[in-house]
């Protein structure tokens, strides 16, 4: 049994922390909105009044936060790094810029604390089922030391040194964003040409075009249900990071640039809180009056 702090128990973090509790570990959770830590308490964990209290004495500290500035603030401005004992492992599952992850690894390493950047893919359902893809960057010894914890959450793979986990997540987000756009375009084209888009999706099952994106996000598009899931504004944040990383590495990614523009427009039109499959709405705006199906849109509450 390991003593674990889990900082950030939102849509993804809460079920991940619950799975660690169910695996028999001692988990103390913290979230800026205290009520969001309640599922962990209900499962048998504890909640702390602040992040430093949760992290004090922990052998492993998981982070699942919104972005790089939130992680930096929590670690170095709210005192979390100050309470970590030498030998503690910080496992940052947030999606943040690779350079930021490398800085965190360097700063924590100077304090005798190991760091893994270990972003995940699989969405809330993968977090609940313990089937996340976990892309870890950092020292091999640190990864091996917490592999059993990561295996509770899904399938961990060490992909390289510090920052490499975040680079892998950016690659993941490139592929997901382009695939969502491709599914939207394909279904719109099929319908415009007189085919039943639901039957087209069914017909492609098992072929080269089949994928989780086609299965899950294609169904959301057909049902016009855009409750997140993965919010469009979060994917846009990742796309902006992707384009910056491409620039730093002297790459031109025209497909990523095109889909990033679609996400920029979706957020500008008020869809930042919609599921990222709602990029379909931008494709429809570009092709008015084309519209996939005749169902009404199901959108998240904007309050």
Quick check: 217 and 180 in contact, CB under 8 A?
A: yes
Contacts 24+ apart (CB under 8 A), 243-246: 244/97, 245/97, 245/98, 245/167, 245/170
169 in active site: yes
Distance of CA 278 to the CA centre of its chain: 17
First-to-final CA distance of the chain: 41
Catalytic-role residue among 3, 36, 169, 302:
169
Residues 6+ apart with CB under 8 A from 120: 12, 16, 93, 126, 127, 132, 133, 134, 135, 153, 154, 169
Q: Hey, what are 222's tokens?
A: 């057909």
Helix/strand/coil for 28: strand
| 3-state per-residue secondary structure call for 275-294 | EHHHHHHHHHHHCCCCCCCC
Catalytic positions, written as ranges:
169
């Amino acid at each position: 049994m390991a003593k674990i702090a889990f900082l950030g128990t939102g849509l993804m973090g809460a079920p991940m922390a619950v799975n660690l509790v169910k695996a028999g570990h001692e988990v103390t959770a913290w979230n800026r909105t205290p009520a969001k830590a309640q599922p962990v308490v209900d499962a048998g964990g504890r909640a702390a009044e602040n992040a430093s209290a949760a992290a004090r004495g922990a052998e492993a500290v998981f982070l699942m936060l919104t972005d790089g500035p939130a992680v930096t603030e929590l670690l170095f401005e709210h005192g979390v790094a100050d309470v970590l004992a030498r030998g503690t492992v910080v496992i940052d599952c947030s999606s943040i810029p690779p350079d930021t992850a490398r800085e965190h690894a360097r700063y924590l390493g100077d304090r005798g604390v190991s760091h893994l950047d270990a972003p995940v893919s699989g969405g809330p359902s993968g977090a609940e089922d313990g089937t996340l893809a976990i892309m870890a960057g950092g020292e091999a010894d640190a990864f091996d030391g917490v592999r059993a914890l990561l295996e509770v959450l899904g399938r961990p793979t060490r992909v390289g040194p510090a920052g490499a986990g975040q680079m892998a997540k950016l690659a993941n987000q490139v592929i997901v964003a382009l695939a969502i756009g491709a599914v939207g375009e394909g279904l719109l084209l099929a319908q415009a040409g007189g085919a039943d888009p639901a039957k087209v999706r069914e017909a492609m099952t098992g072929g080269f075009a089949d994928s989780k994106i086609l299965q899950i996000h294609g169904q959301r598009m057909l049902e016009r249900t855009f409750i997140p899931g993965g919010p469009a504004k979060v994917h846009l944040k990742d796309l902006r990071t992707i384009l910056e990383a491409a620039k730093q590495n002297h790459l031109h990614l025209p497909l990523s640039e095109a889909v990033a523009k679609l996400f920029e427009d979706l957020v500008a039109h008020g869809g930042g809180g919609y599921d990222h499959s709602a990029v379909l709405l931008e494709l429809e705006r570009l092709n008015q009056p084309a519209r996939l199906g005749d169902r009404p849109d199901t959108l998240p509450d904007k309050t």
